Amino acid sequence: MAYEHLKLENQLCFPVYAASRLIIREYQPFLDRLGITYPQYLVLMVLWEHNNLPVNDIAKKLILNTNTITPLLKRMEQQGLISRNRSGEDERKVLVQLTEQGKLLQEKAALIPEELVKRLSASQLNPDELLKLKESLNDIIAFLSGERAK
C-alpha cells in the first residue's frame, strides 16, 4: 500500500475508539438495570460529585457541547432523575440538580466500577496497567482539549 500510514492497523484513533465502544458495551447490562444510558450515567457521576451545577459546567466536564447535552438533560428530567432551573443570580444560567430518584441511583450504581475493573482484570492487563492506561488517556485528553496535564 502506497499510503502505509492510512492503514487502520497503524492508527491510534481506531483502538481508542474500539476500546471505548467495547467498554461502554460492558457497562450496558448494569446501566440497563438502572434504566439509564451511558451518557446519562456520566451526567449522574458529575452531579453525584457536585450537585447543582450549571449546564455549561457539566458540558465542560464531559467535553461535550451544550447543544449535545441539553436534549440529554431534558430526557433525564422527564425520567425524574434531575431538575433544571434558571439561576436566581443569572437567568442565562440553567442549574441542574439531582432529584431524590437521581440521588438514590448512586447507591445502586456504586458497584459498577468495581465490576468493570473485575471484568477488565480478566484480560492480560493487571490493575496497575489499567491505571497507567487511564493516566495516559487523561494526558491525551488534557492535551487535545487544551488543558495542561494535572
- Quick count: other Cβ atoms within 10 Å of Cβ 105? 19
How many domains are contained in the chain?
1
Residue 130 lies in a domain: no
Has residue 132 been placed in a domain? no
Taking only the tens place, the pLDDT of each residue in 91-147 is 889 999 999 999 999 999 999 998 888 887 777 878 888 889 999 999 999 999 987
Q: Does residue 43 sit within a domain?
A: yes
CATH of the domain at 75: 1.10.10.10
In a domain, 86, yes or no: yes
* Sign of the CA dihedral with 129 first, then 135, 139, and 140 last: positive
The pLDDT value recorded for residue 148 is: 56
50: in domain: yes
Contacts of 62 (CB under 8 A, 6+ apart): 39, 42, 43, 46, 69
Asked, for residue 66, whether it belongs to a domain, the answer is yes
* Residue 25 included in any domain: no
Q: Within a domain: residue 60? A: yes
Judge whether residue 149 has pLDDT over 50. no
Domain boundaries, position 55: 36-101
